Structure 1
Amino acid sequence: MTQKGIDAGGDEIVTTSRTYANDHDIEKELLDLTDPYTNRSATRRGLQQRHIQMIALAGTIGTGLFLGSGRALAQAGPAGIFMGYTIMGLLISGVTLSIGELSALVPLSGGIIRPAAYFVDPAFSFAQGWNVTYQYLISIPAECAAAATIVQFWVTLNNAIWVTVFSAVLFATNAFLVRIYGEVEFHLALLKVFLIVGMNFMGIVITAGGGPNHETIGFKYWHDPGPFVQYLGVPGPLGRFMGFWTVFANAAYAYSSVETISMAAAETYAPRRNIPKAAKRVFVRVLLFYVISIFMITLLVPSDDPMLLKKHWYRSPVAISYSRNPSRHPSAAHEFSLASPEKAKPQNFSHVPTVGGVPYMGVLAIGVWMALGYMSVSATAAMVFTWLQDLVACAQIMGWLVICTTYLRFYYAMKKQGISRQRLPWKAPFQPYAAWITLVSLIIILLTGGYTTFIHGHWSTETFISAYLDIGIFGALYFGYKIWYRTKIISLDESPVARFVEIAENDPDPPEEPKSAWSKFNILWG
């Protein structure tokens, strides 16, 4: 059985069963689509291994941690935010293990989009392609609004000025050749890493009494006002649990784009070796860059700090923690670290015509959507950022669900066809349990994301839309495409897993070059 359709990038998708594996045309298309460079032949393959590793390492460090965590701390308390970010970190580790195993076998451009067409349904791929595009386009004004909100800490000017400045920077970095873009991303990632390491060391010094006032803070704020917050004034364990549950939406935004190790699969040298290498480092990144950082924030800022509740830049617990001390240099670096071009580049526009190796239509689309950042010009800038943050978080969770679903279909197709996982380029640990636990957990989080709107007296149209809009969009795209093109879910027997395994076995990565003395100590991109 053969099914055809068009994915979000405009390319024809052909899925076929093992029965037709010897058909010349289908064989050629499978080989072409599996070639890591075929799908992006019009673009410049200028990303080196150090670029890919640093994008994967620091692509998620940004507004979700530095700015969005303020709302989570105020609503959940120190214990609530620490537990929420830790649990979400474990869940997205399951996502990364799943996409890492898939991308090592099928190193195609666009992350999960093409594997979803081969192992689930072309309609599933189409819906996810536009879901990713929607997510990235919404994240652009969210980042600009956040930057405009934070910069008010130093200079009080109209937000429109800062939105224009940051939009111009993001537009320029996307308009340059991919090599220049890679260098910008690489150095910004380095700044982020240095910032977050320095921030944590500074936090240790301050809590230990090394600040200007020599006050030893320790776990003071865990005792007063306490480890949890009685959310919405609901007394007892229920109120504390409700506050804890609100953290997941903030954490989803903070961890967004953690799966970018697969986005650059088609441009990665030796992807069957290097993608698993990046995937295995995710747990360490989560521990070092998020869990420890969130823990330090809980020591430095009380959950009832009045500045957390104001609708402007004071929502940033990092800025608050350093405003309590004369040293504000880490806050300055914090602002600069928000300008990450990686998050502002919708990957699904990579299949359109290019100029100088740059997909110009995608760059122009970025420029158009940046205009939404001007919504932050009013005094409700932080409120705008909150709405956009929730929209991005919902789209991100949908994307993670697609990854887990695709992986499980792939996993059980191999099992159905009697293919040993030992034949894979990389066999991810804890599977399929990690994918199942992540899938079920994320479904629950997604469906309960706007639970407060169903509590009597707490209805909010904005909250309801931001929490559930993307579910409707994804469903409309999926069923609309499915009805129009009459696609069917790929059965486990007809899934082309055997052919992809054969291709991987016949085309292994070149031997790894001996590492230099420096590389042995380089934990960032060595």
Structure 2
Amino acid sequence: MAIGPDEDIPNKNHRASDVISPEPLIEHTQNDDDHEGDFVTTNETHDLARDLHQRHIGLIALAGAIGTGLFLGLGGSIQTGGPLGALLGYATVGVIVCAVQFALGEVTALLPVTGSFVRHAEFLVDPALGFAIGYNIVYGNWLSIPAEISAICVLFQYWTDVNSSIWIVLAIFFTFAVGISSIGIYGEIEFWFAMLKIFLIIFLIILGLVIDLGGIPGVPRTGFRFWKTPGPFVEYIATGSWGKFLGYWAVMNKSTIPRACKRVFFRVSVFYVLAVLIVGMLVASNDERLSDQSGTAAQSPFVIAASAAGIKAIPSVVNAVVISSAWSSLNQALLSGTRVLYGLALKKQAPKIFLRTTSWGVPYVCVLLQTAFMFLAFMSLLNGALTVFYWFLNLTACGVLISWITILVNHRRLILAMKKQGIPLSHLSWRNSWTVYSTPIALVFCVVILLSNGFSVFTRGRGSTSTFVSAYLDILLVIAAFLIWKLVKRTRIVSLHEIDLQGAFEDIRLHPEDLEPESTGWRRFFTFLWD
């Protein structure tokens, strides 16, 4: 999957003055000769629309973490690691994500720029790192979009045998229509899709609990029966305790939870942990139905449990919402990819033609380029939609971990620079005391997970060239991009004492962000999800 896009969604509350440059309060234009270390603000201030409200940003961040994997992929995790192994795997990744989120929050509060951690990497580490990570996000979104379109084709096959090319054309048309429209239209569409996904997962969790407790007439109570037989763990590759650990570790590699902002993270954790817990109680890890590779609602463990309980409408409901979820992912990937590409063009790291915007503030050349990559989805007509989907997905899967590592490195550099320059950490406008420890620990975990992502290929009888390439190609591409830009532009790692933190703090002091008023009274009942 591609990196969660919400970090690149422009916030209407971020003004030009919120964008920090190493020479504070000095804006640069696209005609400047050198942008290697500066944050460029003139173009994005005048040309790029910023019309998303707090309810858009908050709910999109929450629902963005509830993707097709939560509806369809939990069964595979139960099958690989067992109910307890899957639960521990998702919980471990949840803790790592929490550390990443708090690290990103502390840096973003000081440097609230469009492009987020891509631009942070330029300021805190090396312009070459910003270039490499920026293009990693861009091509990750280029590939994830046709993957999601392929998934939509598979999902429609659950209902009809209509030629998949029809669904591909429709998906491309509607995604382009949203991408070229104003950011406000995108926000409204994603807001209601987000509401749909959230209500469905809440409904499925409650339904699963009712089924498990024997609340459906004629369906016996299961409780934690499947935790006893076939057992809480599943042996994966090896046997004994080592095999059980590998099962847990394999789940952790699969359970990548996309980004969510500070308050949203806890809600996402509740959804995922409860969903994994309920699924582990409903379906046995050795249930053959979990091996269903149709890519439709038929492989969802929620659907398996509901069908066994005689509830016939659930499969179609889940399939419909998963289709909307896949299209939502298309919209978010398009927004993320185009905005990051626009930011690269601002830094003269992409052709300046990508700076062209419509009168309503959309970088239309970026949208047209990314739309062109959508037509890769027609490959699914030749190779099988599901095969293409997983191939594209695997090619960009470790991009998420690379982005997390970048976020944690940025935060670590910020902390070290503040200590080097004698600036108390209490000066950060948003801070948590434990991030000094959580960031290095999470960084180690992310690096180990990244390097062991394809560990199964090194075991006897499981190695394959395609698996190895999909697990590690993205790492090589990022390293290559970093070295190329570094050699061509002769960039250097910014020394800790040269990072202009004083200018950043001064700009934040002079231009505090205007916060939207919190909801009060009866409105809080409807806005608790995003406030």
TM tier, shorter chain?
0.7 to 0.9
Identity of aligned residues (%): 36
- CA distance in structure 1 between the aligned counterparts of 2:28 and 2:306, rounded to whole angstroms: 63
- Contact 2:421 2:497 (C-alpha < 8 Å) held by counterparts: yes
Shift in CA distance, 350/338, structure 1 to aligned 2, threshold 3 Å: same
| Residue 197 (structure 2) aligns with | 192
| Residue 177 (structure 2) aligns with | 172
Deviation readout 1:11-60 (Å, 9 max, x if unpaired): xx9985xxx8799989x999x97798863431222211211111212112
Aligned-pair CA distance for 1:145: 2.2
| Residue 249 (structure 1) aligns with | 253
Please give the residue correspondences for 1:45-444 in structure 2 after superposition, counting only pairs within 5 Å: 45-211=50-216, 213-232=218-237, 234-252=238-256, 255-256=257-258, 258=259, 279-313=261-295, 314-324=298-308, 325=310, 326-328=312-314, 329-340=317-328, 341-345=331-335, 346=337, 347-351=339-343, 352-355=355-358, 356-377=360-381, 380-444=384-448
- Contact 1:318 1:331 (C-alpha < 8 Å) held by counterparts: no
Aligned-pair CA distance for 1:117: 0.4
- CA distance in structure 1 between the aligned counterparts of 2:468 and 2:517, rounded to whole angstroms: 53
Q: Which deviates the most, 117-126 or 41-50?
A: 41-50
Q: Which amino acid aligns with 2:87?
A: F
- Contact 1:33 1:108 (C-alpha < 8 Å) held by counterparts: no
Aligned-pair CA distance for 1:209: 1.4
- CA distance in structure 1 between the aligned counterparts of 2:252 and 2:429, rounded to whole angstroms: 33
Consecutive aligned runs of 4 or more in structure 1 exceeding 6 Å deviation? 20-26, 32-37
- Contact 1:100 1:428 (C-alpha < 8 Å) held by counterparts: no
Shift in CA distance, 290/23, structure 1 to aligned 2, threshold 3 Å: closer
- Contact 1:198 1:330 (C-alpha < 8 Å) held by counterparts: no
Shift in CA distance, 238/116, structure 1 to aligned 2, threshold 3 Å: same
**TM norm structure 2:** 0.85
Deviation readout 1:323-372 (Å, 9 max, x if unpaired): 33323134433332332121343131334211232211222223222223
- Contact 2:93 2:252 (C-alpha < 8 Å) held by counterparts: yes
| Residue 274 (structure 1) aligns with | none
- Contact 2:357 2:364 (C-alpha < 8 Å) held by counterparts: yes
Q: Which amino acid aligns with 1:339?
A: W
Deviation readout 1:97-125 (Å, 9 max, x if unpaired): 11111111111001111111011000010
Shift in CA distance, 21/339, structure 1 to aligned 2, threshold 3 Å: closer
- CA distance in structure 2 between the aligned counterparts of 1:364 and 1:119, rounded to whole angstroms: 32
Aligned-pair CA distance for 1:416: 0.7
- CA distance in structure 2 between the aligned counterparts of 1:212 and 1:67, rounded to whole angstroms: 26
Q: Which amino acid aligns with 1:354?
A: T
- CA distance in structure 2 between the aligned counterparts of 1:221 and 1:386, rounded to whole angstroms: 29
Deviation readout 1:75-105 (Å, 9 max, x if unpaired): 2222221111111011011111111111111
- Contact 1:36 1:107 (C-alpha < 8 Å) held by counterparts: no
Q: Which deviates the most, 154-163 or 456-465?
A: 154-163
What is the SS of the residue equivalent to 1:482?
helix
Number of residue pairs matched by the alignment = 487
Shift in CA distance, 383/250, structure 1 to aligned 2, threshold 3 Å: farther
- CA distance in structure 1 between the aligned counterparts of 2:367 and 2:193, rounded to whole angstroms: 20
- CA distance in structure 1 between the aligned counterparts of 2:387 and 2:435, rounded to whole angstroms: 40
- Contact 2:84 2:233 (C-alpha < 8 Å) held by counterparts: yes
> Structure 1: 5+ residue runs without aligned partners?
1-12, 260-278
What is the SS of the residue equivalent to 2:304?
helix
Shift in CA distance, 94/335, structure 1 to aligned 2, threshold 3 Å: same
Q: Which amino acid aligns with 1:302?
A: A
- Contact 1:174 1:363 (C-alpha < 8 Å) held by counterparts: yes
What is the SS of the residue equivalent to 1:358?
coil
**Equivalent in 492, 497, 503 of residue 499 of structure 1:** 503
Shift in CA distance, 344/78, structure 1 to aligned 2, threshold 3 Å: farther
| Residue 15 (structure 2) aligns with | none
Deviation readout 1:377-408 (Å, 9 max, x if unpaired): 36743333333333332011001101100110
Aligned-pair CA distance for 1:159: 3.2
- CA distance in structure 2 between the aligned counterparts of 1:22 and 1:283, rounded to whole angstroms: 33
Determine whether 1:472 maps to 2:476.
Answer: yes
- CA distance in structure 2 between the aligned counterparts of 1:490 and 1:376, rounded to whole angstroms: 45
RMSD after superposition? 2.9
What is the SS of the residue equivalent to 1:217?
coil
Shift in CA distance, 80/377, structure 1 to aligned 2, threshold 3 Å: farther
- Contact 1:62 1:338 (C-alpha < 8 Å) held by counterparts: yes
- CA distance in structure 1 between the aligned counterparts of 2:304 and 2:488, rounded to whole angstroms: 53
- Contact 1:350 1:359 (C-alpha < 8 Å) held by counterparts: yes
| Residue 481 (structure 1) aligns with | 485
Shift in CA distance, 348/118, structure 1 to aligned 2, threshold 3 Å: same
- CA distance in structure 2 between the aligned counterparts of 1:434 and 1:391, rounded to whole angstroms: 29
Q: Which deviates the most, 155-164 or 388-397?
A: 155-164
Q: Which amino acid aligns with 2:477?
A: I
